[in-house]
Amino acid sequence: MEGVDHLAHERNKTEFDVDAMKIVWAGSRHAFEVSDRMARLVASDPAFQKDNRTRLGRKELFKNTLRKAAHAWKRILDLRLTEEEAGRLRTFVDEPAFTDLHWGMFVPAIKGQGTDEQQQKWLPLAYKMQIIGCYAQTELGHGSNVQGLETTATFDPETDEFVIHSPTLTSCKWWPGGLGKISTHAVVYARLLTNGQEHGVHGFIVQLRSMDDHMPLPGITIGDIGMKFGNGAYNTMDNGVLKFDHVRIPRNQMLMRVLQVTREGKCVQSNVPRQLIYGTMVFVRQSIVADASVALSRAVCIATRYSAVRRQFGSQDGGVETQVIDYKTQQNRLFPLLASAYAFRFVGEWLKWLYTDVTQRLQANDFSTLPEAHACTAGLKSLTTTATADAIEECRKLCGGHGYLCASGLPELFAVYVPACTYEGDNIVLLLQVARFLVKTVSQLGSGKKPVGTTAYLGRVQDLLQCRCDVQTAEDWLKPSVVLEAFEARSARMCVARAQNLSKFENPEDGFAELSADLVEAAVAHCQLIVVSKFIDKLQQDIPGNGVKQQLQNLCYIYALNLLHNYLGDFLSTGCITPKQASLANDQLRSLYSQIRPNAIALVDAFNYTDHYLGSVLGRYDGNVYPKLYEEAWKDPLNDSVVPDGYHEYVRPMLKQQLRNARL
């Protein structure tokens, strides 16, 4: 961040305290300081350089990732980093690696599903990385539907062992990260068979490779599943395939916190509530929502800065062209994404609270809020990841042609982010779960069951079915109560209408299948309401810093009114607002864009991303884009020689009309 600042004129326009906004974005001064320190640590360490990533072949790329993972671990040990610091450091290294699964899935699986004894045995090994683990659930033929898994774990009472087996090709484990080349162990999910009976799918700790020479153990076939989307992206990860041929493991390697298999092969349910696993899902999904705000804000930061640097058209007399950020079409695409980044940040923050709340209730055996919390996190995971993936690609397009260069950072950001739409629950499948919950909630309203949490508004359904929006001027749209009511009324009316349509079917399941696309729309409306309402809640808090709250208010209304515009069909068809009111909302939106415009650069500076983490020539803090793009180009391997490999064999014979005799 040294040298000339080509964006200084932009930064001088700022109307709020950027440092205060940085704290708001980070969540707390402490969180800001840890992140800032770790980001700088990584950025200043040449071992973590990543700008050559898209130029490496697969093997080189993978080896380089192993080096970085080892280096990161060494730094964590050397500097005695806390768990929080270590997590932030790994984030800023910004390269998918086997360690993500080890820390993010393997360790939590043992913690969540292992007995105390099992935890005592395995966790210390994992914490020291004396073993490296992965999470082997999905199979070649089975993704979303865990109950459809084919791998079997058959108890053999003679030897007190489970026999893990892949009975078909489609039962091969397929996709687990860290599996293909690195993990020594895995938590493997398989159908439990004992005494000739099936007992559902459970997790088993299976050693995969020898601790001596890293070779797969007998009966185990493992490999990498091949190239994935993008140049670097997830190709730094060894997503793997795993086939078992009657592999035996001791009985005590089944994770038995919930269900135990006795020496005789009997299944005994423990007194640990099964609902605990939903608590884990809430945890994983809230972290996905938090990640969405990070990925989205990176893309927005790049597109916003480059939109201020880039000039096109608008000069009549050969003078300086117009900054593209000054075009309303650019603002209309970019600023709602900037607003979404903040919106997702705050809803993610709230989800973190929700997780602790749910956890405390579970420990007190209170399961009452769990279905609502589960639906809410499922829906928000879906909403935020879909929006973020689309937004990254939109940001890339907003950078014009240069966004297509890997040097822009955006192709890689997209390719590495987009699997979030599919993993941990396909986004459409998740919305169907939300819809199911909403329909159930609506159907129980008559019975006096009071909806809780994010569905509480459905308790006022009679009011919401009748209310009329009283907006008469564009400024009227700047009232939280007006916006909230419009979103609540839209969602409530859609839920009720869907529930009514469903009730026309004799078999509710047939109706659910037939109307599923409509139901998904109601779920989306509900989830958008959650994001809007949590943003509004945030604004009720005391937010220090000169002008900070004003900016956040503008962003909140941009987020809400842009949604209103994009989903206008919902609002109009349910009669929540009139076309005239929609048009006023649009006028207000344009005015908000003008208010945000001078603060746009500062609003992305508040994310506090280092140039290293951003990894984008277009998004450089100093705006010095073109000389650096030029410099970057020459690093391509094709530029190693002036005359390219292949010229003499293939191009020259063409030019010299000697192709007929050429060997190709």
- Positions annotated as catalytic residues are 424
Nearer to its own copies by C-beta: 136 or 552?
136
Identify the helix (H) or strand (E) that includes residue 655. helix 652-655
Closer residue to its own copies, CB minimum distance, 159 or 594: 594
- Euclidean distance between CA atoms 328 and 301, whole angstroms: 18
**Min separation Cβ 24 and its own copies, Å:** 29
Pick left, alpha or beta for residue 238 (phi over 0 → left; psi -120 to 50 → alpha; otherwise beta).
beta
Q: In whole angstroms, what is the distance from residue 558 CA to residue 553 CA?
A: 9
Q: How many degrees, rounded to 5, is the angle at CA 434 between CA 432 and CA 435?
A: 60
Quick one: 544 or 644, whose CB is closer to its own copies?
644
Q: Which of 6, 607, 597 is nearest to 325 (CA)?
A: 597
Bridge partners of 238, per DSSP, are none
Q: What's the one-letter identity of residue 453?
A: G
Instruction: Provide the minimum distance between the beta carbon of 225 and its own copies in the complex, in angstroms, as a whole number.
Output: 4
Q: Which is nearer to its own copies, 35 or 137 (CB)?
A: 137
- What is the distance, to the nearest Å, from the Cα of residue 644 to the centroid of all Cα atoms in its chain? 41
CA torsion through residues 526, 527, 533, 537, sign: positive
Q: How far apart are CA 95 and CA 114, in angstroms?
A: 29
Write the DSSP symbol of residue 185: E
Question: What crossing angle do the helices spanning 548-566 and 516-540 adopt, rounded to 10°?
Answer: 160
Tell me how far apart the terminal alpha carbons of the chain are, to the nearest angstrom: 50
Three-state helix/strand/coil letters over 187-220: EEEEEEEECCEEEEEEEEEEECECCCCCCECCCE
Residues 346-379 as b/e (b if ≥16 CB within 10 A, e otherwise) read: bbbbbbeebbeebeebbeeeeeebbbbbbbbbbb
* Alpha helices (runs of H) in 423-567, residue ranges in sequence order: 427-443, 461-466, 480-503, 508-514, 516-540, 548-566
CB of residue 66 vs its own copies: minimum separation in angstroms? 4
Query: Length of the chain, please?
Result: 664
Nearer to its own copies, 341 or 415 (CB): 415
Q: Are 571 and 487 in contact (CB under 8 A)?
A: no
Token pair recorded at residue 617: 């020539």
- Angle of helix 516-540 relative to helix 370-398, nearest 10 degrees, comes to 90
The two tokens of residue 358 are 């749910």
Contacts 24+ apart (CB under 8 A), 649-657: none
Question: 454 in helix, strand or coil?
Answer: helix
Smallest distance, its own copies to C-beta of residue 210, A: 10
Please check whether residue 155 is in contact with residue 241, taking contact to mean a CB–CB distance below 8 angstroms.
no
* Nearest approach, Cβ of residue 15 and its own copies (Å): 22
Encoding tokens for residue 10?
């932009």
State the minimum distance, in angstroms, from the CB of residue 221 to its own copies.
10
Please report how close the Cβ of residue 33 comes to its own copies at its closest, in angstroms. Answer: 27
> Does residue 457 come out as left (phi exceeding 0), alpha (psi in the -120 to 50 range) or beta?
alpha
Q: Which is nearer to its own copies, 361 or 597 (CB)?
A: 597
Binding residues for FAD: 138, 177
202 in Cβ contact with 259 (< 8 Å): yes
Which two tokens mark 16?
Answer: 């709020």
**Residues 532, 551: Cα–Cα separation, whole Å:** 16
Minimum separation from the CB atom of position 158 to its own copies (A)? 27
Residue pair 538/552 in contact by the 8 Å Cβ criterion: yes
Q: Which residues pair with 188 in a beta bridge?
A: 136, 204
In terms of CB distance, is 330 or 551 closer to its own copies? 330
| Least distance CB 106 / its own copies (angstroms) | 14
Helices (DSSP H) in 12-57: which residue ranges? 18-26, 29-43
Nearer to its own copies, 268 or 320 (CB): 320
User: 221 vs 360, which CB is nearer to its own copies?
Assistant: 221
Binding positions:
138, 177
Instruction: Choose between 36 and 514: whose C-beta lies nearer to its own copies.
Output: 514
Read off φ and ψ for residue 212, nearest 5 degrees.
-85, -55
Q: How far is the CB of 450 from its own copies (least distance, A)?
A: 30
Smallest gap from residue 493 Cβ to its own copies (A)? 11
Q: Which is nearer to its own copies, 121 or 361 (CB)?
A: 121
Count the Cβ atoms, other than its own, within 10 Å of residue 291. Answer: 18
